[in-house]
Amino acid sequence: MIKAVLFDLDGTLADTAPDLGYAVNHMRETRGLAPLPPSATRPVASLGARGLLNTGFGIGPGHPEYDAMREEFLLLYESNICRETRLFPGIGELLDALDARALRWGIVTNKAERLARLLLDRLNMTSRASCLVGGDSTPRFKPHPDPLYAACATIRADPDACIYVGDDRRDVEAGHAAGMKVAAVRWGYLNGNDPESWNADWLLENPQDLLRIL
């Protein structure tokens, strides 16, 4: 019997791509570069600073300017974290339905915990979530199962009594490694990939599909 539902954050519960794109485009503007369209930044939004800086400037970890630019990006994003970010359509109703069924739900994200908590505060969701595990809450982050184990410990639920819901292959890998059933969402960013190939237990077209599974 399912006792809890754990969610990824970016691209699953909340559409954060506009504000992540804003941060990288602000950086481009200060360097005299043209802004990137949403079609370029949106697919990699789930990858956070690493994905956006690679798309915006073609750099990644190991590049001599990466650490400083990552810090610049994160500060810009923190200052603009909820300009346009909203819950995806139907997510509010889904969470209401989980509450009505007395099913606990929480968030496991690779976003830094302080940024995730700030965003949840702005979305008035902090007090509702049974747990919040960020990318720096455990020594290893998704696709390693450690963050999901930490969430289970917090909500006192066995992994096999939980469903994990996400929009990236890493979410499926992490969920299965933790012994959970996993649902992949088609409305997310997907990192430009086809979720059909991820071996998720379910593919959700919309949030209400999860209620039918439950």
Is residue 8 flagged as an active site residue?
yes
Query: How far, CA to CA in Å, does 90 sit from each of 5, 49, 55, 119, 162?
Result: 16, 27, 30, 19, 21
Cα–Cα distance measured from residue 127 to residue 149, given in angstroms and rounded to the nearest whole number: 21
Q: Is residue 73 within 8 Å of 53, Cβ to Cβ?
A: yes
Which one of the listed residues 8, 15, 146, 168 is annotated catalytic? 8
DSSP, res 36:
P
Whole-number Å distance between alpha carbons of 4 and 24: 35
Catalytic residue status for 10: yes
Name the active-site residue from 10, 15, 168, 171.
10
d(C-alpha 190, C-alpha 43), whole Å: 6
The answer to whether 143 touches 47, Cβ cutoff 8 Å, is no
**Pick from 103, 128, 129, 153: which is nearest to 1 by CA?**
103
* Catalytic positions, written as ranges: 8, 10
